[in-house]
A and B are shown apart, each in its own frame.
Chain A
Amino acid sequence: MENLIISNLTKGFFKKRALNNFSYSFKKGMVYGLIGPNGSGKTTLMKTIYGLVKPTHGTIFMNGEKISYKTRENIAFMPTEDIFMPDLTGNEILNFYSNNFSDFSLEKANRILEKMKLPLDEKINTYSTGMKMRLKVTLCLARDVELYMFDEPLNGIDVISKDLIKDTIISMTTENSTLIISSHALNEMELILEQVIFLNEGDIIRDINLEELRHTENKSLESLYWEVYNV
């Protein structure tokens, strides 16, 4: 069943179009991969779905409701850039999420963070890039929603944390949730993804079911990437 329906979505920044008449229906229980080179529209698409970027044209509906600040109650989004106020501590940020998202589980967040070994009493401006990434991923993973979106969740993450993040993502895949993940780490994400959408200049150039691909052609996601983008 489709829970996220995007129709003719266009987003222009000055003369450039980040999304170009993008239409797609995301189904429940699926894990989608957004693949494409830098500037292909992956981040803009995710931010538009979350309501952080406003579309120039087109519509997005989540369970029949037009995207707005209200739909954020049912969407967890991990952006790729820093989002934290530098003077806050890790604990203050966890409390902020716990107070503002009714589905956020502080207990689950602490369980994940225990393994990631983050100094939660310290200010964010003392955190490294990897530490901020781990905190961002956790904030997303500790929510209980229908749609999860991760923009480059493995960027700057060490090997141990990578496995933990991947395992947690896999454990979240239920028949009621949809996951959308954008990543350049194709080999690492291949086992998680079910459907892969290749983007270029804001448009879909290929939409492939990885299961079918494995059965019909014996190709890895990375070799497919090279083929699609003619690299």
Chain B
Amino acid sequence: MYNLIKLELLQRKNIIKILGIVLVMAQLYAFYCYYNNDINNGIGSLFIVGFISMIVYTFSSFISFSKDINERERSMVFMVPKTGFSIISSKFITTFILGSLLFLIYIGGFIGNVLIVNPSLIGDFSIEFQNFSIKLAFLTIISFSSFLALVYLSIIITKTFLSRLKFRLIITLVVMSILSKIFNIIIWNNVESADLISSSILLIPVIAITIVMLWISGWLIDNKTDF
């Protein structure tokens, strides 16, 4: 699987370079704003650029995966003697790790900037607030992973079982929405009330469903997908 992950990283080097440059430019612009005492503009632009970067990264990953699955011209990775589960997992792991890193850099950078413009806030964050932030970041990353597996599965189902149906995209979107709703009920409805330990327990079914979705995607690649 390591070699497949290496290939995925090579494939994504361009988007990572572009997002890296954009974030550095945004940070430089923020410093320029701080220098001119325009703090709101600096922090605001960082927030917007970071948020858009996350969305661009996520969608570029989905588009790239969809192309890999649907375009015969990119089928090199599906020609290796590896299981569909290994192939799909390598794509999932790469997207997940890079996405999580981007998210953590974004959050870390944002907090760092807030502390730069207002150093008096250092030490002001309560333990409860810190725990809540860690829990929120953790749950966001886990939600991102389940969403990722859900989209991958939807793309493969659209290519296999639903390929002959006229309204396959609508059916896929409906199924995705239902599953997303289930995840939301499990995770986000309990996020505020649950402590760190009980939110970790809440994640077990989500992680299990994510692995099952990846396994089904791999099985479909091995048995039902034509390249």
Q: Which residues of A approach B to under 8 Å, CB–CB?
A: 14, 47, 50, 52-54, 68-73, 77, 79, 81-85, 87-88, 92-93, 96, 99-101
Q: Contact at A100–B226, with CB atoms within 8 Å?
A: no
B38 interface residue, CB < 8 Å from A? no
Q: Contact at B80–A101, with CB atoms within 8 Å?
A: yes
Please give 15 more A-B residue pairs, beta carbons under 8 A apart, in addition to A72-B81, A99-B6, A101-B80: A47-B226, A52-B75, A52-B79, A54-B223, A69-B83, A69-B222, A71-B81, A77-B79, A83-B76, A84-B73, A84-B76, A87-B14, A92-B10, A96-B76, A100-B4
* Given known A83-B74, A92-B10, contact A52–B227 (CB-CB < 8 A): yes
Q: Contact at B81–A54, with CB atoms within 8 Å?
A: no
Q: Contact at A70–B225, with CB atoms within 8 Å?
A: no
In order of increasing CB-CB distance, the 8 nearest A-B pairs are: A72-B81, A99-B3, A82-B73, A100-B80, A52-B227, A83-B76, A73-B81, A53-B226
B164 interface residue, CB < 8 Å from A? yes
List chain A residues, Cβ under 8 A from B14. Answer: 87
List chain A residues, Cβ under 8 A from B73. Answer: 81-84
List chain B residues, Cβ under 8 A from A53. Answer: 226-227
List chain A residues, Cβ under 8 A from B225. Answer: 54
List chain B residues, Cβ under 8 A from A84. Answer: 73-74, 76
Q: Contact at A70–B81, with CB atoms within 8 Å?
A: yes
Q: Is the interface of A mostly helix, strand, loop or mixed?
A: loop
Report the separation of the CA atoms of residues A55 and B78 in the bound assembly, to the nearest whole angstrom: 17
List chain A residues, Cβ under 8 A from B101. Answer: none
List chain B residues, Cβ under 8 A from A50. Answer: 79
List chain A residues, Cβ under 8 A from B83. Answer: 69
Least Cβ–Cβ distance between A165 and chain B, in angstroms: 20
Report the separation of the CA atoms of residues A74 and B45 in the bound assembly, to the nearest whole angstrom: 55
B82 interface residue, CB < 8 Å from A? yes
Q: Is the interface of B mostly helix, strand, loop or mixed?
A: helix
Report the separation of the CA atoms of residues A14 and B164 in the bound assembly, to the nearest whole angstrom: 8
Interface size class of B (residues with CB under 8 A): 20 to 34
Q: Which of B3-32 contact A (CB under 8 A)?
A: 3-4, 6-7, 10-11, 13-14
List chain B residues, Cβ under 8 A from A77. Answer: 79
Least Cβ–Cβ distance between A188 and chain B, in angstroms: 26
B84 interface residue, CB < 8 Å from A? yes
Q: Annotate B64-105 by CB proximity to A: 1 below 8 A, 0 otherwise.
A: 000000001111111111111000000000000000000000
Neighbour of A54 across the interface among B3, B74, B224, CB < 8 A = B224
Least Cβ–Cβ distance between B165 and chain A, in angstroms: 12
List chain B residues, Cβ under 8 A from A101. Answer: 80-81
Least Cβ–Cβ distance between B220 and chain A, in angstroms: 10
Q: Contact at B76–A85, with CB atoms within 8 Å?
A: yes
* Given known A85-B11, A85-B74, A100-B3, contact A47–B81 (CB-CB < 8 A): no
Q: Contact at B81–A100, with CB atoms within 8 Å?
A: yes
Q: Contact at A69–B76, with CB atoms within 8 Å?
A: no
Q: Contact at B79–A72, with CB atoms within 8 Å?
A: yes
Least Cβ–Cβ distance between B50 and chain A, in angstroms: 25
Interchain residue pairs with CB less than 8 A apart (9):
A47-B227, A54-B223, A54-B224, A71-B81, A77-B79, A83-B74, A85-B7, A100-B82, A101-B80
Report the separation of the CA atoms of residues A70 and B83 in the bound assembly, to the nearest whole angstrom: 8
Q: Which of B114-146 contact A (CB under 8 A)?
A: none
Taking CB as reference atom, which chain A residue is nearest B221? A69
Least Cβ–Cβ distance between A123 and chain B, in angstroms: 10
List chain B residues, Cβ under 8 A from A87. Answer: 10-11, 13-14
List chain B residues, Cβ under 8 A from A92. Answer: 7, 10
* Given known A53-B227, A88-B11, contact A96–B81 (CB-CB < 8 A): no
